[in-house]
């Protein structure tokens, strides 16, 4: 692969990670959080999203295709990246390595989540509060989903920091430090929303 091709693919990978994949993650977490208000609220929110106009078009062109490109090219980046935390154990080097680790973990987690929900729906199952409660009745699945949500929120928050640097929005060390604190806050807020949603089904 030429340097120019790699440059543009990495830029596309970075952009899709925030828009639309990152925005979809936030929306997905917010919809799931309706479970904290009870089964009826969650089912109503889920039904609303599932009955949007052009839902298949939106799912494939706004979610699945961008997500697949971001995931598969991200795995390529993860396995070709040179991690040097043993020599340079700086905060950003650790964040760089964790970004790659969570990315690979998320490929497994998202594939399984899609199988348990979207594919099961295509086979005739109903995606509702009871389905999720049944999934989380397994202690293994409960832990698996908690780890998956934390990996997703970290990956998005840290990816946002990288996105702003990559696209030249934050160039000075001071601006990058400020955004570090902001993205840590985003990680904490989204993680709380996600974990609360999971335990609402238990």
In angstroms, rounded to a whole number, what is the distance separating the alpha carbons of residues 111 and 108?
5
At 99-115, the pLDDT tens digits run 999 999 999 999 999 99
Q: What is the mean pLDDT of residues 127-145?
A: 97
Distance of alpha carbon 81 from the chain centroid: 20
Question: DSSP letters of 39-98?
Answer: HHHHHHHHHHHHT-TTHHHHIIIIIIHHHHHHHHHHHHHHHH----TTT---HHHHHHHH
Q: Can you tell me the mean pLDDT for 140-168?
A: 97
Higher pLDDT, 52 or 139: 139
């Amino acid at each position: 692969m030429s340097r120019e091709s790699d440059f543009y693919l990495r830029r596309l990978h970075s952009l899709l990670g925030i828009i639309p994949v990152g925005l979809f993650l936030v929306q997905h977490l917010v919809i799931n959080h309706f479970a904290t208000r009870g089964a009826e609220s969650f089912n109503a929110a889920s039904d609303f999203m599932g009955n949007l106009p052009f839902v298949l078009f939106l799912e494939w062109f706004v979610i699945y295709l961008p997500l697949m490109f971001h995931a598969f090219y991200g795995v390529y980046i993860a396995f070709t990246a040179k991690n040097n935390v043993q020599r340079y154990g700086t905060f950003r080097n650790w964040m760089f390595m964790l970004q790659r680790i969570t990315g690979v973990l998320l490929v497994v987690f998202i594939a399984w989540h899609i199988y348990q929900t979207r594919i099961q729906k295509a086979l005739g199952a109903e995606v509702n509060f009871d389905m999720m409660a049944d999934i989380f009745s397994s202690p293994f699945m409960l832990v698996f989903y908690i780890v998956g949500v934390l990996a997703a929120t970290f990956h998005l928050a840290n990816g946002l920091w990288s996105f702003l640097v990559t696209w030249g929005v934050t160039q000075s060390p001071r601006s990058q430090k400020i955004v570090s604190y902001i993205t840590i806050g985003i990680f904490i807020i989204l993680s709380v929303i996600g974990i609360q949603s999971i335990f609402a089904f238990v």
